[in-house]
Homo-oligomer: A and B are copies of this chain.
Amino acid sequence: MYSAKEAAKITGLSTAALRYYEKESLLPPVKRNDQKYRQYTDEDIEWIRMIQCMRMANIPIQSIKEYVSLLIQGGKTLEQRYEMVQEHIENIMGQIANLQKALTLTQSKLAFYEKVLKEPLRQDITYAEEWKMFNHGGHV
């Protein structure tokens, strides 16, 4: 059992974010003690970690909410969850592909700068020249 502050520390989220997630039904209602203070269980913490994993994949709160709703409804929603998870995977792979593209381009930019920095005479290059040279390498 963890207090709000402890749960926040463990997960790296703010107590406000935890309350927000609960309010948005991203996690089931957290148990309270006599003083109405939240008492996060290990299960709650794991649940939060699952949410963090989904957020890390930039899955919107609303989609997580839908997934969690199905999860709570149980076994009969298995196929829907299966399809959702498939979509998530495709989404993540798309994001990775975009980032890889940007990474490749940015790395070639870095290589370009390295080259120019090694040639002191060329450091008076203008931005007009730069992007011409850079684009010649095939931008986007």
Residues of A participating in the B interface, judged by any CB pair closer than 8 Å? 43, 46-47, 49-50, 52-54, 56-57, 71-76, 78-79, 81-82, 85-86, 88-89, 92-93, 95-96, 98-103, 105-107, 109-110, 113-114, 116-117, 123-128, 130-131, 135, 139-140
- By a CB distance below 8 angstroms, the chain B residues around A109 are 85
Interface-central residue, A73, A92, A107, by most chain B CB under 10 Å: A92
Q: How many copies does the complex hold?
A: 2
Say yes or no: B130 contacts A71, CB within 8 Å. Answer: yes
Q: When the two chains form the complex, which single residue of B53, B79, B123 contacts A117, counting CB atoms closer than 8 Å? A: B79
Q: Closest chain B residue to A71 by CB distance?
A: B127
- By a CB distance below 8 angstroms, the chain B residues around A131 are 43, 46-47, 50, 71
29 A/B residue pairs, CB under 8 Å, sorted by A: A43-B128, A43-B131, A47-B131, A50-B131, A50-B139, A53-B105, A53-B139, A56-B99, A57-B99, A57-B103, A71-B131, A72-B127, A74-B124, A74-B125, A74-B126, A75-B124, A78-B113, A78-B125, A85-B106, A85-B109, A88-B106, A89-B106, A89-B110, A92-B102, A92-B103, A92-B106, A93-B103, A96-B100, A99-B99
